[in-house]
């Protein structure tokens, strides 16, 4: 893989650190789930890290991010403390939503992360409303709304794209097409197959399809799209072709995918691709990589210990933070 933009060694280290942080976080979360420390549903982002890290790395701190229930990667890429994220997965009071949200609902309003949303496509109309608010208040922000391929068959998808286009709202719709909506291949659930981005044309929204395993391709495309959106050009639609290396959730044995397909995609592991490109350009040396791996393992181990040692929510919090 050839790096298409010139990045400094500091930037290369930051990008690789985030990629590795998400990967190790997810691997440890899977272990904690098997030990019963994490309960409910757990949807891992392993294999898709280049999208969250690449896209969010070119945003401004004040820009908004809203996403789906496979949200750990976006939360960490937006700057959420791994301790706080892991504590939320554990259902502890020190978590980002005081243990009430769990795996699918990581929020950090101070960092502009407006949550993972468990309803398929549910984040789309919220993102559109957030973009309308930005335009109404004449703020210099954009909204990046991540969605999965399963969301494109929901009514909210079409309604949100239509209104965003009509009102020229500052929102980037970012489709993470990992080729499966739960256990259904996208070729069997969507008439457009692996070219969903072409449907944005029906709403007069410019769109592009990119390689979601290539962090530099993600950065290039996101920067270009965000510049257009921020300048008042209205919404943009990006489709990144990617692949989750694990099942839909920890409860999914993923028997609908053959091993050959999985192994073929693993050859394009986004972390390995970026690491190899770093070696080519002399940005990431063996010494730097070893130091980063040691640092990340330590960070995540501390996050697990913090979550495990944090207190459970007391019963009375059931009556707090509710509407009525």
pLDDT in tens, 91-102: 999 999 999 999
Is 2 domain-assigned?
no
CATH number reported for the structural domain that contains residue 19 in this entry: 3.40.50.970
Helix ranges (DSSP H) in 144-214? 155-166, 186-189
Residue 46, classified by CB atoms within 10 Å of its CB into exposed (0-12), middle (13-18) or buried (19+), is buried
pLDDT band at 3 (very low <50, low <70, confident <90, very high): very low
Q: What is the pLDDT of residues 84-127, one digit of tens each?
A: 999 999 999 999 999 999 999 999 999 999 999 999 999 999 99
Which tokens go with 172? 């980037």
Predicted TM-score (pTM) of this structure: 0.94
Is 155 domain-assigned?
yes
pLDDT of residue 194: 82
Is 316 domain-assigned?
no
User: Angle formed by the axes of helices 82-90 and 286-309, to 10°?
Assistant: 40
Chain centre distance of CA 230 = 21
Residue 79, classified by CB atoms within 10 Å of its CB into exposed (0-12), middle (13-18) or buried (19+), is middle
Q: What is the pLDDT of residues 129-161, one digit of tens each?
A: 999 999 999 999 999 999 999 999 999 999 999
Return d(Cα 193, Cα 102) in angstroms, integer: 32
Q: How many domains does the chain have?
A: 1
Q: Which domain, by its residues, includes 305? A: 9-311
Is 289 domain-assigned?
yes
pLDDT band at 191 (very low <50, low <70, confident <90, very high): confident
Is 324 domain-assigned?
no
pLDDT of residue 254: 85
Is 317 domain-assigned?
no
Is 156 domain-assigned?
yes
29-43, 199-213, 277-291, 308-322, range with the lowest pLDDT: 277-291
Is 77 domain-assigned?
yes
pLDDT of residue 4: 61
Which tokens go with 87? 């504590």
Q: Is the pLDDT of residue 2 over 70?
A: no
pLDDT of residue 1: 44
Q: Is the pLDDT of residue 73 over 90?
A: yes
């Amino acid at each position: 893989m050839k790096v298409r933009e010139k990045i400094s060694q500091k930037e290369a280290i930051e990008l690789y650190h985030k990629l590795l942080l998400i990967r190790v976080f997810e691997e440890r979360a899977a272990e904690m789930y098997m030990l019963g420390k994490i309960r409910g549903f757990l949807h891992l982002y392993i294999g898709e890290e280049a999208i969250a890290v690449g896209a969010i790395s070119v945003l401004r701190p004040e820009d908004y991010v809203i996403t789906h229930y496979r949200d750990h990667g976006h939360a960490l890429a937006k700057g959420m403390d791994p301790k706080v994220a892991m504590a939320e997965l554990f259902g502890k009071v020190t978590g980002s939503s005081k243990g009430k949200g769990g795996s699918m609902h990581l929020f950090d309003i101070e960092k502009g992360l407006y949550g993972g949303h468990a309803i398929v496509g549910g984040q789309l109309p919220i993102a559109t409303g957030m973009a309308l608010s930005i335009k109404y208040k004449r703020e210099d922000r954009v909204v990046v709304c991540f969605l999965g391929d399963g969301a494109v068959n929901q009514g909210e998808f079409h309604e949100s794209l239509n209104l965003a286009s009509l009102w020229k709202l500052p929102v980037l719709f970012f489709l993470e097409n990992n080729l499966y909506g739960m256990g259904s291949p996208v070729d069997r659930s969507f008439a457009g197959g692996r070219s969903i981005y072409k449907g944005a044309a029906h709403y007069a929204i410019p769109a592009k399809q990119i390689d979601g395993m290539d962090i530099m391709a993600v950065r290039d495309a996101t920067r270009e799209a965000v510049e257009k959106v921020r300048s008042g050009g209205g919404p943009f639609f990006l489709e990144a072709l990617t692949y989750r290396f694990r099942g839909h959730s920890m409860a999914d044995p993923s028997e609908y995918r053959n091993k050959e397909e999985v192994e073929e995609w693993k050859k394009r592991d986004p972390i390995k691709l970026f690491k190899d490109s770093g070696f080519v350009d002399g940005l990431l040396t063996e010494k730097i990589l070893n130091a980063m791996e040691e640092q990340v393992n330590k960070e995540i181990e501390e996050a697990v210990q913090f979550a495990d040692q944090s207190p459970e929510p007391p019963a009375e919090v059931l009556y707090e933070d509710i509407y009525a």
